[in-house]
Amino acid sequence: RAWYPGHVQKAKRQIRENLKKIDIVVIVLDARAPVATTSFEMKIFKDKQRVFLLNKTDLADSEYNKKWACEIAKLYPTLLVNKDTKRKELLTFLKSVPTKYANPRIAVVGVPNVGKSTIINKILGRHKAKTGAQPGITRGVQWVNVEGLTVLDSPGILFSEIFSKDIAAKLLLIGSLPIENVDDEIFDYAFKIYASAAGVQKDIVQFLEEYGRSRGLLKKGGQVDYEKAKTLFFKEVSEGKHGKLTYDTDFEKFWEVLKNG
């Protein structure tokens, strides 16, 4: 559990407090890893209207985007989005969510780095500021009225509660785990998942050797600086610089994680 951050309890308490007032929970997933980004404690939302945004579709495999959207839409209102999605499309979707409330109160939640702040900014028609919010910023929570919706102006930050190597590796690949907290076993496993999705035949040592050399990431003696190469490579992968790849492809697993979380 080395990658489990210490501020989780605080973030959880804040979400629970705000939850009482919320009618619709907008769960943001990363389209590259819909299972891994659903691996949080879902029970806290069980009596809420839940909807899903599959975000960062520009970084994922376009065929899988469609497949995932169809699958999740079997049970929940679902929309494929990315940073270029028009505000109007997002608002139309949110306003179409079935609810018994006249001015439903909406919160945007998800694991770190899936794009919650970007989505809140878009809903509110704000062009910048407040991205990359940290847990704890929630003090002085604000509700903002937007076209008949009452939106919580603060992302609900959730943390993975299901500790499997597979989920940790995929969270690493999409930039949802701080690289410093990850051990070598997870790096190796994440590389295998990446290589399989990208059709890369090399192992991590071979690959980083060539990658590090090509980027000039060398130590004094001229050997490749493996740590630097590893850090830069995984950062680039999470930013989509090594292909539009979808790592989660198992629909059954999604429903299982959703049910158990």
User: Can you tell me which of 55, 78, 138, 160 binds ligand GDP, judged by CB under 6 A?
Assistant: 55
Binding of residue 116 to ligand GDP (CB under 6 A): yes
Stretch that binds ligand GDP, among 60-68, 111-119, 139-147, 193-201 (CB under 6 A): 111-119
Nearest Cα to Cα of residue 71 among 230, 252, 227: 252
Stretch that binds ligand GDP, among 40-48, 53-61, 197-205, 250-258 (CB under 6 A): 53-61
- Pairing outcome for strands 149-152 and 24-30: unpaired
Least distance to ligand GDP, CB of residue 162, Å = 19
Distance CA 69, CA 59 (A): 15
Residue 135: strand, helix, or coil: coil
Binding of residue 126 to ligand GDP (CB under 6 A): no
User: Can you tell me which of 7, 16, 21, 83 binds ligand GDP, judged by CB under 6 A?
Assistant: 83
108 vs 208, beta carbon nearer ligand GDP: 108
User: Can you tell me which of 51, 114, 171, 224 binds ligand GDP, judged by CB under 6 A?
Assistant: 114
Q: What is the DSSP letter of 42?
A: G
3-state SS of 110-134? ECCCCCHHHHHHHHHCCCCCCCCCC
Residue 151: strand, helix, or coil: strand
Binding of residue 82 to ligand GDP (CB under 6 A): yes
Query: Binders of ligand GDP: how many residues, by CB under 6 A?
Result: 19
- Pairing outcome for strands 149-152 and 143-146: antiparallel
50 vs 56, beta carbon nearer ligand GDP: 56
3-state SS of the chain: helix, strand, coil percent to 5? 45, 15, 45
Binding of residue 131 to ligand GDP (CB under 6 A): yes
Binding site for ligand GDP (CB under 6 A): 55-56, 58-59, 82-83, 110, 112-118, 131-133, 155, 240
